[in-house]
Structure 1
Amino acid sequence: MNAIELFAGAGGLGIGVSKAGFTPIQIVEWDRWCCDTIRENRARNVEAVASWPMPIEGDVRDISFGQYEGKLDLVTGGPPCQPFSLGGKHRAFNDSRDMWSEAVRVVRETKPRAFIFENVKGLTRASFASYLAYIVQQLTYPEIVRGSDEGWEEHLARLERHHTGRRRGGLRYRVVYRVLNAANYGVPQRRERVVFVGFRSDLGIEWSFPEETHSADALLWEQVRSGAYWDRHHVAKRARQINPRLAARARELDEKPSLAPWRTVRDTIGDLPDPEREPRKAALVLNHRFQSGARAYPGHTGSPLDEPAKTLKAGVHGVPGGENMLARPDGSVRYFTVRESARLQTFPDDFVFHGAWSETMRQLGNAVPVELARIVGADVARHLESRA
């Protein structure tokens, strides 16, 4: 099944849907460093992107997609999220970086069987409620185009009248969206993103988001009630540390949860040499170099080793100090390496990131976890295949 990836970044969403069975025939990304990352991995014949076309490095607004009309199964992408990010300036529709109209345009020009778009959780804030409704209505009726002299509120009103009217011909999609916590799908990071999925209405597909597979309670059960987590990692009883509040919650559980336990930082990077204490061994691992300067301060305390990581961040002004850190049980902190961060985002180990540490962390902080994209993509693929 063919797909187009917009606003590809370093490729997290694209790799995930590729693993789900889609074949990308065009990749678009304006950022040179992200394109360099994809190009370098293609050149190294890394399996995740070996079959990808060369990325188009440019502004999506300058590209026409009409040649793909009727030839696509899926359009995916993460329209720039800074206008809605909790770390941004919350300008939304007044921000020139808001590319939702371009995502809608590509859907209109290509008429894919389905689409998957994602954005930051901040888009669902109450202050953006009207604009969120506007995005959904545009995705539902992509052929009802905003006029050159029409404000977005006026366009929304016209879309609503069309939606409630009797005649609703033309291109239409059945759209659902939900905030997903990646940790609940086996990603070792508490990362919440809002995901939009739409199926072309003529397909008659009924769909809902995949059920969660992992839970915090299951992790607490293994850490507090059974001890299986610590036994698996060969951690002595005297070295086991858990937040007292979480321990109290675990003691209230009546029975072992049916879901798998959340994956932790230790689960994910525990087999890697410590880049600060074992630099020679660490040098043998791709993108696994120690970065100095980490410090903890109120609100920036790092990610405990035995919990899923906090959300990796890119930041409006670069990586904010203390966010992308490991908090060791002994109280010390250090920055996650690029390789550790890539594992927390579930990128494959042979996938390398191009650029300096701050640049690669920006790519990773903006990425979609590969495994979350694969899970959603696989379920979309399964439903499309049922209508083949």
Structure 2
Amino acid sequence: MKAIELFAGAGGLGLGVGRAGFRAVDVVEWDRWCCDTLRENRARGAGIIRHWPAPREGDVRGFSFTQFEGKVDLVTGGPPCQPFSLGGRHRAHQDHRDMWSEAVRAVRETRPSAFIFENVKGLTRSTFQTYFNYIFLQLSYPEIVLRSGESWLDHRARLEQHHTSGIRTGLSYQVLPPKVLNAANFGVPQKRERVFFVGFRSDLGLEWSFPRETHSREAMLWDQYRDGEYWDRHGVSWRARPVDPRASDAAMRLRERPAELPWRTTRDALAGLPDPELLPKGCADFPDHRFQAGARSYPGHTGSPLDEPSKTLKAGVHGVPGGENMLRRVDGSVRYFTIRESARLQTFPDDIVFHGSWTETMRQLGNAVPVDLAEVVARSVKLQLDYVNARSGRA
């Protein structure tokens, strides 16, 4: 099955979609550092990216997608999220970086069987509720376009009238109520919440629901404080095991082992990587695994604990924030995550390398979708499309 990847960034969403069984036929990204990352990994033959076309670098508003009309099964992307991010300026539709209308245009021009779009949890804040609903309606009826001189509020009113009329002529999509997914609940070693918009073309007559969560905090606590399997797996002796009284108390209140898998922790993610402070300078055995000096802890910026999923990695409007991109060791000391460690927290494969300075690369990673979370969502979509193809005899 063929897919188009918009606002590709460093490739997190696209890698997950590729793992789920889709083949990218178009990749669009405006940032040159991200494009360099994609180009280098493509040239190196890194994983799925080696099969991707060269990224179209530039402003999506200058690109057409009509050549793919009726030829792709899926359109995916993460429209720039700074207008809605808790770390941004919250300007939403007034922000020139708001690219939701371009995502809708790509759907209109290609008429895919389905789409997957994601964004930051901040988009679901009550402040943006009206615009949030506007995005939902545009994705549902992509052929009802904004008229010249029409305000977005008037356009939204027209879309609402069409929605309530019951008329379903032209291109339309069944869009599930968007849902916030916590990546940690799907096996990602990071507490990262993203909102997903998933839609299927109405004529396909499909019923779909978001994937069920597979991992839980309770299962992690059982592993750590009830049977100790977690510490055994990491070779941590009884004497060296840290104890969090509140976590231990929560574990002792559990009556039976949870059915889910344990949350994956920062320690899980970093397993097999040496301490970057101990590596010889210039060591090339571990790409992108270089020590970055200058980390310090202060109130509100204490770093990610080793034995929980990490905090949400963030890009930041003015560079990398202090606390979210630091590791807090058991003894309370902190250091910055290396690029490779951050990539692992975002579940990028180790053969993927990144272009740019540490700050620039951390921005790429802070904006990315965890690869494993993208795969879970995309795989569930592909199962539905496989069903359609089997039903129509195209399998």
Give TM-score scaled by structure 2 length.
Answer: 0.97
* Paired position in structure 2 for 1:92: 92
User: Secondary structure of the equivalent of 2:248?
Assistant: helix
For the Cα contact (< 8 Å) 1:273–1:281, is it kept in 2?
no
Task: Report how far residue 250 of structure 1 moved.
Answer: 1.1
SS of equivalent to 1:276 = helix
Q: CA deviation at 1:152?
A: 1.1
1:148 alignment counterpart: 148
Structure 1 position 282, deviation (Å): 5.8
Instruction: Compute the displacement of 1:283 (Å).
Output: 4.2
State the secondary structure of the residue aligned to 2:381. Answer: helix
Which residue number in structure 1 is paired with residue 190 of structure 2?
A: 189
Paired position in structure 1 for 2:324: 323
What pairs with 1:188-337 in structure 2 (closer than 5 Å)? 188-279=189-280, 283-337=284-338
- Quote the Cα distance in structure 1 between the aligned partners of 2:226 and 2:60: 52
The DSSP-based 3-state class of the residue aligned with 1:255 is coil
Partner of 1:386: helix, strand, or coil? helix
Contact 1:283–1:289, Cα closer than 8 Å, also in 2: no
Distance 2:179 2:303 in 1: 27
Unaligned runs of 5+ in 2: 390-395
For 2:113, the equivalent position in structure 1 comes to 113
Deviations 1:79-98 (A, max 9, x none): 00000000111111111100
1:61 pairs with 2:68: no
Identity of aligned residues (%): 69
Q: Which residue of 2 aligns with 1:12?
A: 12
Q: Secondary structure at the residue paired with 2:377?
A: helix
CA contact (8 A) 1:279 1:290 kept: no
Letter in 2 for 1:310: K
For the pair 1:163 / 2:163, whether they are aligned, the reply is yes
8 A contact 2:265–2:307 mirrored in 1: yes
Q: What is the rounded CA distance, in whole Å, between the counterparts of 2:338 and 2:224 in structure 1?
A: 26
After superposition, what is the alpha-carbon deviation per residue over 1:108-159, rounded to whole angstroms, capped at 9, x for unaligned?
A: 1110000000000000001111111000000000000011211111111111
Deviation at 1:278, TM superposition (A): 3.2
Distance in 2 (CA, whole Å) between partners of 1:121 and 1:76 is 18
C-alpha distance in 1 between matches for 2:243 and 2:150 = 56
Whole-Å Cα distance in 2 between the matches of residues 242 and 126 of structure 1? 38
Quick one: distance in 1 between partners of 2:31 and 2:239?
Answer: 48
Q: Give the match's secondary structure for 1:25.
A: strand
Question: Distance in 2 between the 1:281 and 1:226 partners?
Answer: 41
Structure 2 Cα separation of the partners of residues 344 and 20 of structure 1: 20
Letter in 1 for 2:219: A
Counterpart Cα distance in 2 of 1:166 and 1:289: 58
Verify: 1:173 aligned to 2:166, yes or no: no
Give the letter aligned to residue 115 of structure 1.
F
Counterpart of 2:380 in structure 1 is 379
Instruction: Tell me the amino acid that sits aligned with residue 57 of structure 1.
Output: E
Deviations 1:302-346 (A, max 9, x none): 011111010001000110123200000011100000000001100
The answer for the alignment partner of 1:2 in structure 2 is: 2
When the two chains are superposed, the root-mean-square deviation of aligned CA atoms in Å is: 1.1
After TM superposition, give the deviation of residue 48 of structure 1 in Å. 2.4
Tell me the distance in 1 between the aligned counterparts of 2:69 and 2:243. 54
* CA–CA separation in structure 2 for the residues paired with 1:178 and 1:63: 29
Structure 1, unaligned stretches of length 5 or more?
A: none
Alpha-carbon separation, structure 1, partners of 2:268 and 2:368: 21
Q: Deviations over 1:177-200 (max 9, x none)?
A: 100000000000000000110000
State the 1:67 CA deviation: 1.1
Query: Matched residue of 2:293: which SS?
Result: coil
The question of 1:348 aligning with 2:370 is answered: no
